[in-house]
């Protein structure tokens, strides 16, 4: 059970004699999966690895609900600012951005979404969000939250347009989404920790910009990351994948493999049970109908 | 450009001499795609067909937003009933069911979702909906809307539990989701068209159940189906696919093919433009960063 | 039981001999109440009249939920336009405007509110709506719905800014909120009923504006007005007021009187019961606590 | 400028010689206003006091938005629990309860409301919330938040029905809404601070109940109370009231007086300006129309 690919890497590089005994494993982060895919592409991965970062249940719990709530939690702990009626700009409308945008709207904010991908942008539009380029959103926003996976999403060029008191937070994995260096260069004075995890950048024209968590991922730095219910789902997936690999029924070749849909369903089923929710079960007649419909004569 | 697979079927069965001249085509319905896949599996499909029913843009516009709005529109035209504060039971939380559930909630209804798929059920739970088996939802519901693709979702066994005045509507393609025959057998009197597209079934114990559109798809029968903006997106997809096939650049073998992501993006881009929304464009530095991150050393 | 004050007016003007036998009455419209207040101010009202237009239950059901839903219903029947992702401008954020704004947002629209009252404007802001002057909203809006009680809310001066295809609807009582005459004067061609209750005004520059219901109240003209559940609540209020007056316990002097809170509560209680909802009852200890807290030593 | 009535009380009781020089004052809490009303009723209040606790702007900002956000903030800081998909029971649907219910729903929770007032209960129903007596909500709830102003809202009698892991929080002013003594008596073991501001009560049957902030007001104890934007609005109201009293234009007799609508409007106007929002201004023709309509011949 790996996190970031380090274990797999170390095994291959330093303990090759152990590789033959490994039936397989699972990787829980997107970064690790990227590393594994490169190894696999080069023919260097000696056993099957399951990409446990990408189940539907994990995406729903972790990226959308967990990140959505915990990022807002981080912003509130750092600033205690009121969100109702404020213009919150969410950069990126992937699974995380969507969760953040919905949580902010749920607390009464007027949310603007920025995107580079037209399909995601359209998805945001159809969900009722205003979509604008960052250059247009910059002068209106009161709180900015980046969740794109890209860099310089709030860049030096945007700084002149920002409002006095604007709050800048990053929810992406790396601290490159807000160009902190450009911010530092534009500032005539930086006051650390005007509140916990809030630094004030005073610009020459008197505007003050508030950078949270030094541009690092705000839900981990200023709040507590994902709630335990989210981790439960992630760990359940990893445990079930290992059990499935250990049982040997999988018979997978070396390479990177998706979590089988059955395990995703099992996680969902267990999660529903633990919450007390119950669902319907197909009757035999319904099962026949659906089968004949999809595969019939 | 086919709808339901009839054209392709006729071509193969009755005009085989024309097959050689066909570069390819596109199919706009899920039903047609199922037929095409069967033909392809038997090696009987003589040219490439693109499954234009399943782009992300079409799913968002057609299944979720278009169906969500038009099903509610159909229920309101047929009944003029107030949705605010009423218990609306939505059976099925696929793309259509989700759209219906959100639209009903958006008008103030208290929505209960029923599902057979645990992953979709969990998705509904995380979106804030109450999820129950139909047997539990039956005595509470005031309006029922089926969107499952299955049959007997509201079956004879549920009828004794339904409330007086319960409204039954189907949004699925076929009229088998509500067991209309069981309803007819349980009724001591049926009054057609107590309002347009609303039949009243009087049960022996005095309860009256209101069946909309005879159990046929309520947004087509009682309203006007998808709004033109939705059809624009669908037709745009089909036209772009045909242009792509005609340009010959595709070089696809016979079989069923997905719409390329580029066309989906192009549809999204055109739709955004026509609505006046604008999005960001990756800078060269951002493009490098994203590329190196995903494919780098 | 009067509607608009006509009965009371006729009684005083034409049948004064009957006045002495009248114990009182109730008036169900805001217009009628205004007339009654004028009569009372002049000392001309011979018996007590209860302003049944203004209970909390009626405001919630009729103005917010009933009007909200039925106005959207009217717009959809007249246009079959998709609301998801569209910019809907709601002019006026009173009880009706709020209901319309929430219903439009609930169907995925991006709602802009215009107001003249700063308190209501702030209420809209805190509910997450964008608030703008009409001059700013005009170029962005795709659907406009007026609900202000004022006149010329969409006036000749706004027409040059409107987008091609903009839909104009009025939800206010009188047909003066959209300046239809200015629209007619700006048009080079008017096509009646391009759809039911939709007239197209072609402007000299080629833009087409769609006026619904000739600027008259769209939920009555293009849909069916308030759902029966709403009328139930209004009539329940009037019936209970009359019973209370007839029982003589009221002992009210001539003039205009508010519906007593007990009757409002009774309507609410009956409505909850009919929907199957149940609520808590204060325990004696709770009642003591609340009493002592508010009136204690 | 008083808070809780202490200053006014001390003045009258201990420094009566100063009373004559006092032009008036304002009181910012509901509790203080109750005390003032009692004094006024007894003829003991020597100067005019303005009840600054009850402006529309303050109710919107403070009770609904401020409390809504900060109570959720308190629950998250104390528990880091995921709200999406969880059953959150909000007791009381006044201005505070409504804010809490909407914030919880906005984060994806399935919200149940309990009430004793049928009008408020109906308001919750029409807003799409499920309304139940606490006895019915108790076995389903995963998080309970009381905001009633009453006592024993979660009482000893409810404890046997609560789920293992249920979280109990109070948002009311006094710590009597959750019967903490009954909870202590039912517990076989109490573990303080399993997380900050979270005490675990272990019951004999193995269930654990989590009491936040010892039953005291959770947004003040576990979070930071109202955001500064909310306090700005409250203080603006008090300052404007004092300026108005000092200017002497008021000419108010001794007693408790409401904040004049003009001051409420001025607060709203200033708040809108500071947020950058702009609104429409009535034209002279509109002003005439509205005046003639309401007061005309």
Quote ipTM for the complex. Answer: 0.92
pLDDT for position C167: 98
Strands C143-146 and C87-91: parallel
Helices (H), chain A: 6-14, 30-41, 56-58, 67-79, 95-106, 118-126, 134-137, 180-186, 218-221, 228-246, 261-275, 284-295
Q: Do D84 and B130 touch (CB under 8 A)?
A: no
Q: CA D139 to CA D143: how far, in whole Å?
A: 11
In the predicted model, what is the mean pLDDT of residues D237-245? 92
Q: How many helices and strands, by DSSP H and E, does chain D display?
A: 12, 11
Whether D38 and D15 have beta carbons less than 8 Å apart is answered as no
DSSP characters over B215-265:
GSBHHHHTS-SS-HHHHHHHHHHHHHHHHHHHTT-S-PPSEEEEPPHHHHH
Q: Report whether pLDDT(D72) > 90.
A: yes
C128 and A105 within 8 Å at the Cβ level: the answer is yes
Instruction: Indicate if the alpha-carbon torsion angle B280, B103, B153, B74 is positive or negative.
Output: negative
Average pLDDT of chain A to the nearest whole number = 93
Is residue C294 pLDDT above 60, yes or no? no
- Where are any strands of DSSP class E within D152-261? 167-170, 187-195, 198-203, 208-212, 255-258
CA distance B196 to B200: 11
Alpha-carbon distance B21 to nearest alpha carbon in chain D (angstroms): 54
* Angstrom distances, CA of residue B101 to CA of B107, B165, B222, C60, C189: 10, 20, 19, 23, 42
Tell me the percentage of chain D whose pLDDT exceeds 70: 98
The SS3 of residue D181 is helix
Express each pLDDT in A39-64 by its tens digit: 999 999 999 999 988 888 988 888 88
> Which residues in C234-248 are b (16+ Cβ under 10 Å) and which e?
bebbbebbbebbeee
User: Which of the other chains make 3 or more beta carbon contacts under 8 angstroms with chain D?
Assistant: A, B, C
Shortest Cα distance, chain C CAs vs residue D234, angstroms: 14
Quote the CA–CA distance of C86 and C76 in Å, as a whole number. Answer: 13
Positive or negative: CA dihedral B45, B46, B52, B56: positive
How far is residue D96's CA from residue D77's CA, in Å, rounded to a whole number? 19
Answer whether D84 sits within 8 Å of A105, measured CB to CB.
no
**pLDDT for residue A271:** 93
Q: C121 to chain D: which residues are within 8 Å by CB? A: 268, 272, 277, 279
Q: From A72, which residue of chain D is nearest by alpha-carbon distance? A: D73
Edge-to-edge order in the sheet of strand C130-131? C130-131, C110-114, C87-91, C143-146, C167-170, C208-212, C198-203, C187-195
Judged against a pLDDT cut of 50, whether residue A297 lies above it is answered with no
Position D77 scores a pLDDT of: 98
- Residue contact A128–C122, C-beta within 8 A: no
Integer distance in angstroms from the first to the last C-alpha of chain A? 45
How many contacts (CB atoms, under 8 Å) link B and D? 36
| Beta strands, E only, B75-207 | 87-91, 110-114, 130-131, 143-146, 167-170, 187-195, 198-203
Q: Do the Cβ atoms of C107 and B106 come within 8 Å?
A: yes
Report which DSSP code applies to D18: G
Distance set, CA C113 to CA A111, C14, C43 (Å): 15, 46, 41
Structure confidence at residue C297 (pLDDT) = 42
Does B84 sit within 8 Å of C69, measured CB to CB?
Answer: yes
3-state secondary structure chain C: CECCCHHHHHHHHHCHHHHHHCCCEEECCHHHHHHHHHHHHCCCCCCEEEECCCCHHHHHHHHHHHHHHHHHHHHHHHHCCCCCCCEEEEECCCHHHHHHHHHHHHCCCEEEEECCCHHHHHHHHHCCCEECCHHHHCCCCCEEEECCCCCCCECHHHHHHCCCCCEEEECCCCCCCECHHHHHHHEEEEEEEEECCEEEEEECCCCEEEEEHHHCEHHHHCCCCCCHHHHHHHHHHHHHHHHHHHCCCCCCCCEEEECCHHHHHHHHHHHHHHHCCCCCCCCHHHHHHHHHHHHCC
Q: How far is C227 from chain B (nearest CA, A)?
A: 5
Rounded to a whole number of angstroms, the distance between the first and last alpha carbons of chain D is: 45
Residues D56, C199: Cα–Cα separation, whole Å: 41
**Chain A residues whose beta carbon lies within 8 Å of the beta carbon of residue D228:** 80-82
Q: State pLDDT tens for residues B194-205.
A: 999 999 999 999
Q: Do C128 and A122 touch (CB under 8 A)?
A: no
| C64/D118 Cβ within 8 A | no
Residue C57 touches chain D, beta carbons under 8 Å:
yes
B137: contact with A, CB 8 A cutoff: no
Per-residue pLDDT for D198 more than 60?
yes
Cross-chain Cβ contact B290/A176 below 8 Å: no
How far is the alpha carbon of A195 from chain B, nearest alpha carbon, in Å?
32
B161 neighbors D117 (Cβ within 8 angstroms)? no
pLDDT average, residue stretch B30-38: 87
From chain D, the residues in CB contact with A82 under 8 A are 61, 65-66, 69, 227-230
- DSSP letter at B59? I
Q: Indicate if the pLDDT at residue D293 is higher than 80.
A: no
For CA atoms C255, C260, C264, C266, the dihedral sign is: negative
CA–CA gap between residue A53 and residue A50 (Å, rounded): 9
Task: Give the closest of D84, D105, D126 to B85, CB-based.
Answer: D126
pLDDT in tens, A92-101: 999 999 999 9
Whether B280 and chain A come into contact, CB under 8 Å, resolves to yes
- Which chain D residues are Cβ-neighbours of C286 within 8 angstroms? 116, 150-152
- Which of D128, D130, D137 to mutate to test binding with chain B, by most B CBs within 10 Å of its CB? D128
Compute how many other C-beta atoms are within 10 angstroms of the C-beta atom of residue D181: 12
Nearest to A82 among D69, D81, D163 (CB): D69
**Which chain A residue shows the shortest CA-CA distance from D222?**
A77
* Mean pLDDT within C160-180: 96
Q: Smallest Cβ distance to C103: which of B80, B107, B142?
A: B107
Mean pLDDT of B14-30: 91
What per-residue confidence (pLDDT) applies to A206? Answer: 98
Residue D5 has pLDDT above 70, yes or no: yes
Rg (CA), chain D: 23
Q: Which of B125, B127, D87, B223 is nearest to A127 (CA)?
A: B127
| Cα A128 from Cα A112, distance rounded (Å) | 10
* Chain C adjacent subunits, 3+ CB pairs under 8 A: A, B, D
Of B23-37, C94-108, C112-126, least confident by mean pLDDT is B23-37
> Which residues have a Cβ under 8 Å from the Cβ of D249 and sit 6 or more positions away?
none
Asked whether the predicted pLDDT for residue D136 surpasses 90, the reply is yes
User: Is B127 touching D (CB cutoff 8 A)?
Assistant: yes
Q: Is the Cβ of A202 closer than 8 Å to some Cβ of chain B?
A: no
The nearest CA of chain C is from the CA of A85 a distance in Å of 4
Distance (Å, whole) CA C156 – CA A130: 28
Closest Cβ opposite residue A106 in set D103, D228, D229: D103
Give me C292's structure tokens.
């002592």
Cβ-based contacts under 8 A for chains B and C: 93
Highest mean pLDDT (candidates C266-280, D28-42, D243-257): C266-280
Residue D260 has what DSSP assignment?
Answer: P
Give yes or no for B242 touching D (CB within 8 A).
no
Q: How far apart are CA D21 and CA D43, in angstroms?
A: 18
Q: What is the mean pLDDT of residues C275-290?
A: 92
What percent of chain B is helix, strand and coil (3-state, nearest 5)? 50, 20, 35
- Cβ–Cβ under 8 Å, residues B272 and A122: yes
Strand order in the sheet with D25-27: D25-27, D48-51, D255-258
pLDDT over 70, % of chain C: 98
Mean pLDDT score, D211-218: 98
What Å distances lie between residue A87 and A101, A228, B5, CA to CA? Answer: 11, 30, 49
Number of inter-chain CB pairs under 8 A, A vs B: 132
Model confidence band, residue B249 (pLDDT cutoffs 50, 70, 90): low
Whether C119 has its CB under 8 Å from any CB of chain A: the answer is no
Q: Which of B238, B254, B252 is nearest to B51 (CA)?
A: B238
Testing the interface with A: which of C85, C129, C131 to mutate, by most A Cβ within 10 A?
A: C85
Instruction: Tell me the two tokens of residue A101.
Output: 């945008």
CB atoms C85 and A122 under 8 Å: yes
DSSP structure class, residue D234: H
Min CA distance, C187 vs chain B (Å)? Answer: 24
Q: What three-state secondary structure class fits A107?
A: coil
Given CB atoms, is B197 within the 8 Å cutoff of chain C?
Answer: no
Residues of B in contact with A61 (CB under 8 A): 126
Interface test with C, best of B106, B233, B272 (most C CBs within 10 A): B106
Query: What is the rounded CA–CA span in Å between residue C278 and residue B283?
Result: 59
Q: What is the DSSP string of A27-66?
A: E-SHHHHHHHHHHHHTT---SEEEETT--HHHIIIIIIII
Mutation target vs C (from D56, D91, D122; most C CBs, 10 A cutoff): D122
Among A3-7, A128-132, B66-70, B99-103, name the one with the lowest average pLDDT: A3-7
Between CA C109 and CA B111 the distance in angstroms is 20
Question: What DSSP line would sit under B60-93, residue for residue?
Answer: IIIIIIIHHHHHHHHHHHHH----TT-EEEEE--
Q: Which of D108, D126, D129 sits opposite B127 (nearest CB)?
A: D108
Give the integer Cα–Cα distance in Å for A37 and A55: 17
What is the chain D residue with the closest CA to B84? D126
- Residues 73-102 (C) with a CB less than 8 A from some CB of D: none
* DSSP designation for D209: E
Share of chain A above pLDDT 90, in %: 81
The distance of B83 to chain D (nearest Cα, Å) reads 9
CA distances from A57 to B53, B119, C18 (A): 25, 7, 74
Local confidence band at C222 (pLDDT 50, 70, 90 cut-offs):
very high
The answer to whether the beta carbons of residues B71 and B217 sit under 8 Å apart is no
Measured in degrees and rounded to the nearest 5, phi and psi for residue D265 equal -65, -40
Distance in angstroms (rounded) separating the CA atoms of residues C27 and C52:
6
Task: Note whether D81 contacts A229, CB cutoff 8 Å.
Answer: yes
Using a pLDDT cut of 90, give the percent of chain B over it: 81
Are A230 and A62 in contact by the 8 Å Cβ rule? The answer is yes
Q: Give me B274's structure tokens.
A: 């026509």
């Amino acid at each position: 059970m790996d996190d970031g690919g380090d274990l797999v890497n170390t095994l291959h590089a330093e303990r090759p004699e152990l590789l033959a005994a490994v039936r397989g494993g699972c990787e829980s982060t997107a970064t690790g999966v990227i590393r594994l895919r490169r190894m696999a592409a080069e023919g260097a991965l000696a056993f099957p690895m399951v990409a446990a970062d990408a189940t539907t249940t994990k995406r729903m719990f972790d990226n959308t609900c967990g990140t959505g709530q915990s990022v807002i939690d981080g912003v509130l702990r750092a600033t205690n600012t009121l969100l109702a009626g404020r213009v919150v700009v969410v950069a990126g409308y992937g699974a995380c951005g969507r969760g953040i945008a919905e949580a902010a709207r749920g607390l009464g904010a007027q949310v603007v979404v920025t995107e580079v991908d037209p399909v995601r942008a359209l998805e945001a539009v159809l969900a009722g969000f205003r979509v604008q380029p960052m250059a247009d959103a910059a002068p209106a926003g009161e709180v900015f939250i980046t969740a794109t996976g890209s860099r310089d999403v709030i860049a030096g060029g945007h700084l002149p347009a920002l409002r006095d008191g604007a709050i800048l937070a990053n929810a992406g994995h790396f601290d490159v989404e807000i160009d902190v260096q450009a911010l530092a260069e534009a500032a005539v004075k930086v006051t650390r920790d005007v509140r916990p995890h809030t630094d004030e950048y005073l610009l020459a024209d008197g505007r003050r910009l508030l950078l949270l968590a030094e541009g690092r991922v705000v839900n981990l730095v200023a709040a507590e990351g994902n709630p335990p219910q989210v981790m439960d789902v992630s760990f359940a997936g990893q445990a079930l994948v290992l059990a499935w690999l250990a049982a040997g029924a999988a018979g997978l070749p070396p390479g990177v493999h998706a979590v089988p849909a059955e395990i995703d369903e099992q996680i969902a089923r267990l999660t529903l049970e633990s919450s007390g929710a119950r669902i319907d079960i197909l009757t035999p007649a319904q099962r026949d109908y659906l089968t004949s419909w999809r595969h019939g004569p």
